[in-house]
């Protein structure tokens, strides 16, 4: 008996209703004892009895350490998550279907900005559209590219741009507004953000 006349309850001594949870017997495998020990400790975090026998404590620590090392080795030998869940390669039809959704949203957003203002008389009104396309292959399909974009910024002629997005003609009272800039600037980010910008307004004879 330790000095002071008191004894601590050892894991093996606990027999009443308040005793520490017994080690589970349902676990199988080389580390079943360690699994049971982990379960017992976590089930009684505040009051789990600590054995006064250093050899017993050391044995428990060794079991836990061996179990932890075995888990590390399992994780290290497992295939990379990227390889285990390789992204599905989309068909041409799937790419075009998704590109059409982004295309329609972009066209609506551009036309919504093409409202009348004094600078429309000279074709100098500015427009810009910011969008998101998380799949580079879909953006490439939308812009008639041979695969994902390889640029951060590129200029498309007005004709090339409208071939990709659609006819950018907005109706206003007594007139129509068109893209008047010779080129449309297209910006692309690897994070999926893209931006279109150019000028719009009335067409002048010099534009024909």
Q: Where are the domains of the chain?
A: 21-86, 92-207
Considering only CA atoms, which of 28, 23, 20, 25 is closest in space to residue 45? Answer: 20
Determine phi and psi for 109, rounding to 5 degrees: -65, -40
Burial label for 51, CB within 10 Å (0-12, 13-18, 19+), is middle
**What are the start-end ranges of the E strands in the chain?**
125-132, 153-157, 169-172, 175-179, 183-188, 193-201
Confirm if 163 and 145 have CB atoms less than 8 A apart: no
Tell me what the mean pLDDT of segment 156-171 comes to: 96
Tell me what the mean pLDDT of segment 123-145 comes to: 95
Least reliable range by pLDDT among 28-32, 111-115, 144-148:
28-32
Q: What is the pLDDT of residue 28?
A: 43
State the pLDDT confidence band at 108, using cuts at 50, 70 and 90. Answer: very high
Confirm if 138 and 99 have CB atoms less than 8 A apart: yes
Look up tokens 């888990």; give the residue: 71
Q: What is the pLDDT of residue 118?
A: 93
Confirm if 69 and 30 have CB atoms less than 8 A apart: no
Give the pTM. 0.58
pLDDT in tens, 12-27: 444 444 444 444 443 3
State the pLDDT confidence band at 142, using cuts at 50, 70 and 90. Answer: very high
Least reliable range by pLDDT among 17-26, 38-47, 116-125:
17-26
Cα pseudo-dihedral 190, 153, 171, 204, rounded to 10: 180
């Amino acid at each position: 008996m330790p000095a002071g006349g008191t004894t601590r309850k050892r894991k093996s001594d606990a027999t009443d209703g308040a005793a520490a949870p017994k080690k589970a017997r349902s676990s199988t495998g080389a580390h079943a004892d360690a699994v049971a020990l982990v379960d017992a400790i976590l089930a009684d975090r505040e009051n789990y009895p600590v054995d006064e026998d250093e050899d017993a404590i050391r044995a428990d620590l060794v079991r836990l350490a061996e179990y932890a090392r075995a888990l590390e080795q399992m994780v290290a030998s497992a295939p990379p998550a990227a390889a285990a869940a390789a992204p599905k390669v989309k068909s041409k039809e799937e790419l075009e279907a998704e590109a059409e959704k982004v295309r329609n949203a972009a066209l609506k957003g551009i036309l919504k900005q093409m409202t009348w203002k004094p600078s429309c008389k000279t074709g100098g009104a500015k427009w810009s559209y910011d969008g998101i396309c998380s799949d580079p292959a879909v953006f490439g399909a939308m812009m008639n590219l041979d695969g994902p974009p390889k640029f951060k910024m590129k200029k498309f002629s007005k004709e090339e741009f409208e071939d990709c997005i659609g006819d950018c003609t907005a109706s206003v009272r007594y007139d129509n507004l068109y893209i008047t800039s010779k080129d449309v600037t297209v910006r692309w980010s690897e994070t999926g953000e893209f931006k279109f910008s150019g000028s719009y307004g009335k067409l002048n004879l010099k534009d024909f």
